[in-house]
Homo-oligomer: A and B are copies of this chain.
Amino acid sequence: MLVGYGVVGRGVAKVLNLKQSSFIKKGVKFKIVAMCEKDGSIFDPNGLSLKELDNFKKHRSFTTETALKLIPEIEADILIEVTPTNIINGEPGYSHIVSALKSGKHVVTSNKGPLALYYNKLMHIAEKHDRKLLFEATVCSSTPVFSLVRKTLQPNDILSIVGILNGTTNYILTKMHEEDISFDTALREACEMGYAEANASYDVDAIDPAAKLVILANALMGMKIKFADVKKTGIREITPEAVELAKSRNRVIKLVGEVSDSTVEVSPRLVPASHPLNVGGTLNALMFRLDLAHDLYIVGRGAGQIETASAIISDMLDICGCL
């Protein structure tokens, strides 16, 4: 069942529809048996079509019952929780996830709030109920991060993770670097392009990348870090002069997150122009420092409807045993 039918929810429905036959070839047939939005919910055990989802208010099953009411009642294997991130208390995502796990559903989410605030608590509930809680889409969207480490680098221990975790601020800093414009002008452009999140503060004040850093630290390095533990410095204070000075030294200013035994911090840093972490536009980039494989970089899109759906469906296939 799908909870949340904004950009991400629609993307999941679209890709499931588009690539249905390719998933059937892998031995899995996905059906969306229920969808809940703020305004109401619909359900059909035989599966809801894309058209029914898009016109859900006209569906014969339409009810104003909330997700929280329906989650324990609907028979489904997986809850896809894609409501917006709330970093204050993690709601409504947190309650949705807990309710699903307790009623025997696996959970796949792109919602950073619940995981950044209650990672260990949620994992404990998932374990207790023998269900999976997967969240590849919470960090770097389609770019594999959690599954990369867990499924492809298993012999390695992680010494540190350093990266560009927010596409919006990377877009702003790239624009400032390339066009010598001010922060305000670049931010305006990012909003016009649809790159800035509803609340631009989440991006430019480093709240979004800090939430991601907490999830990375707890999920991949076995830490017990809280959101409040992350030292956060945003990019509002960066002037064209600072960008220029960096450029004259063959460096770029990037908003960099780092987690290691001694550091949990998101802040603007100077990155050498030739460094693999110097990626432009809305790209995200992560560097893993590993004991065996040493420095490994992964670079890709950090947002986008279809991209985020890719990560969510990857988790869904994982739950179905299609690794």
Contact = CB atoms under 8 A, between A and B. Distances in A.
Contacts of A123: none
Interface string A1-45: 000000000000001000100110010000000000000000000
A159 interface: no
A258 interface: no
A245 interface: no
Total identical chains? 2
B152 A310 contact: no
Nearest to A145: B152
B293 A296 contact: no
**How many residues of A sit at the interface, in one of the four size bands?**
35 or more
28 contacts: A15-B155, A15-B292, A22-B155, A23-B155, A142-B290, A143-B293, A144-B148, A150-B323, A151-B151, A151-B152, A152-B152, A153-B310, A154-B317, A154-B323, A155-B313, A156-B310, A274-B280, A276-B279, A276-B299, A292-B310, A293-B300, A293-B310, A294-B307, A296-B298, A296-B299, A297-B297, A297-B299, A323-B323
A226 interface: no
Contact of A323 (B151, B155, B317): B151
A306 to B, nearest CB: 5
Nearest to A23: B155
